[in-house]
Amino acid sequence: MSVARMLFEVGQVCTAPLHESVAHIGVSTPANGHLVAAFSRTQLPPEKTNKSNVGKTDKMLGESRMTSLPKVSPDSIHVGWIGTGVMGKSMCRHILDAGYKISVYNRTKSKAEELLAKGATWAQSPREVVDKSDVTFTIVGYPKDVYDVYFGEYGILAGAKKNSIVVDMTTSQPSLAREIYHKAKEKGVYAVDAPVSGGDVGAREAKLSIMIGGDEDVVEHLRPLFQLMGGNIAYMGPTGAGQHTKMCNQILIATTMIGVVESLLYGYKAGLDLDEVISAIGSGAAGCWSINNLGPRIVRRNFDPGFFVEHFVKDMEIALEEARRMRLALPGLALAHQLYIALIAQGKGKLGTHALALALEQLNNLEMKK
């Protein structure tokens, strides 16, 4: 008998009126992959309904599942890390500095040399990383890279151990996060999506905002590791919720960046000192991370990437596709996307997101030089 049918049949024999009873339903997925459900209905006077018991079964099952996982500490687990780019390298370094044993893989080995010099171990493939690891983090470029890393012949799911955990921190598609979750679950592996925000500075200073989707008990189990990388650890809901939250983040950044650049263009044309403009408006109602952190870089003509334009365009395209699926009109995001596409057409896809200033300068036939 299916679980749904079982719950229906049990429910039919509970003849007490709904207002005179309390129902407890707990559903969980333990390490063996089978769905477990508990249902009880106890007749109680309405004023004595014990709401504190609701969800207790879920909690008990979650705690039972977590006993199959090793304690998260440097002495207990081996960590895997795949992707040592602008942000991944700094994030991995924080875990390494905390004393964890780490195996790393990156398509270009030279980008991992700093971590190897600090004691990390090189792996020849994602599969080799997970073969040694209890918890494996990935942060790569595009959804297609995520797919290859997880589903390729030498990928993560070809070699991940039962009861291990995989955490994708790439900004990717919510649907891909769900696919990874379900395929991992078939192998007795736990999967979490945890994209981040904060750029190269946030990664370097361990001040990232980490937006997480997945099973809450697994996320809590990983909290000690997340806390090494970020200052704001936000559990957002089931699988894919982390990626949806990151889309909210990227939509806000994209449209805010237009305002930052247009504000500086206006100030420049009006003959104002742009450093003074940033100081004045950055502490008022218009203050935001972008004007205070990226505004000065624009003024100094430093367009080095904290986050690549081409990766940002990828994020906007994911958000636009999800918006189309939800029949949601986002004209501000669509405009920002077009401006960034123009920036890539100008050969500036490897610059930072604040290089949007270059596209708008070209539109106005000026350059904000001191």
**182: closest CA among 239, 245, 246, 243?**
239
pLDDT surpasses 70 at 182: yes
Q: List pLDDT tens digits, range 17-59.
A: 333 333 333 444 444 444 344 433 333 344 343 444 434 444 4
The beta-carbon contacts of 342-345 under 8 Å, at least 24 apart in sequence, are: 343/309, 344/309, 344/310, 344/313
Per-residue pLDDT at 65: 59
- What are the extents of the domains in the chain? 3-66, 78-239, 245-364
- Write down the catalytic residue from 101, 111, 207, 246: 246
Nearest to 92 by CA among 51, 133, 34, 43: 133
pTM: 0.80
CA 223 from centre of chain? 14
Region of poorest pLDDT, from 65-69, 116-120, 300-304: 65-69
Average pLDDT of the residues in 131-147: 97
Cα dihedral angle (147, 153, 154, 156), rounded to 10 degrees? Answer: 50
Mean of per-residue pLDDT scores for the chain: 87
Which class would CATH give 245-364?
mainly alpha
- Establish whether 187 is a catalytic residue: no
40-49, 58-67, 234-243: lowest mean pLDDT where?
A: 40-49
- CATH of range 78-239; options 3.90.1200.10, 3.40.50.720, 3.40.50.300, 3.40.109.10: 3.40.50.720
Average pLDDT over residues 328-335: 98
List C-alpha distances in Å: 57 to 37, 236, 351: 9, 21, 51
Q: Report pLDDT digits (tens) over 338-347.
A: 999 999 999 9
For 105-132, the pLDDT digits (tens) are: 999 999 999 999 999 999 999 999 999 9
- The total of other beta-carbon atoms located within 10 Å of residue 339's CB is 16
What tokens does 326 get? 């939800």
